[in-house]
Amino acid sequence: MIDLDDELRKLEALAGEQGVTARRIAASDVVVSEWVRFKCRYGCKGYAKHLSCPPYAPSPAETRAMVNEYEVGILLRFEGVPGHDHFGPDEIPKDFHGFYKDLILFVNRLVHKVEKTAFYDGYYKAFGFGGYPCIYCEECVAEQARGPVDESMRRTCRNMDLVRPSMEAAGMDVFATARNVGWELSTIPCKDMEYGKIIHDNVVSFGLVLIE
């Protein structure tokens, strides 16, 4: 098995080849908070529509217990929105999930690739957390369901091998976690405070892969 330091350098380089900045992060610096799930539950239009999101994603308590079993991971920082180099609020459609499709796929595919690379290098505990509501399918089986959705429906996921919970879905405070590795973040104001109509295109996204 590759030495851990060498493995982390390899994964940082893998991200760098895609124009993504990666920093090592101690598992103890991953901040998990109960309030994060309230932001999903009240205010997010994706709530309960994707198996990677609440209420189907791990609870903060489950996430906290899981993170405590690790020592180190890789935090990935993505800049911009692929396919939309420059845009303003008037160019963002009301249903903006599809507008960010290339970004969401980029984030989650790279998280999966980093996780898989570490796994096959012998770090069998490697597990990734992406960002945003899942967009592998046009409409998730959870959204298509009529009536209650329980954990057993996960078996019907069309991309079970690829789907991972987003950091925020699992209760991770992305702002505080990024700050713990030296990255300062701020919210993006929206035009007339209208949901989703961000006033500038300086979008920063994050993913996390816990390694060992």
Domain ranges (residues) in the chain: 4-210
pLDDT of 150: 85
67-109-107 Cα angle (round to 5): 75
* Mean pLDDT within 158-184: 97
pLDDT of 123: 98
Q: What is the pTM of this model?
A: 0.95
Taking 90 as the threshold, does the pLDDT of residue 12 lie above it?
yes
Could you tell me the pLDDT band of residue 146, with boundaries at 50, 70 and 90?
confident
d(CA 97, CA 93): 9
Q: Which of 104, 172, 110, 103 shows the shortest CA–CA distance to 134?
A: 104
Taking 90 as the threshold, does the pLDDT of residue 148 lie above it?
no
One-letter amino acid identity for 141? V
Q: Which of 154, 158, 107 shows the shortest CA–CA distance to 133?
A: 107
Q: What is the pLDDT of residues 83-136, one digit of tens each?
A: 998 999 999 998 898 999 999 999 999 999 999 999 999 999 999 999 999 999
Identify whether the C-beta of residue 127 lies closer than 8 Å to the C-beta of residue 120: no
Taking 90 as the threshold, does the pLDDT of residue 147 lie above it?
no
* Mean pLDDT within 39-54: 92
pLDDT of 169: 96
User: Which strand ranges, in their side-by-side order, compose the sheet holding 204-210?
Assistant: 21-26, 72-79, 204-210, 127-129
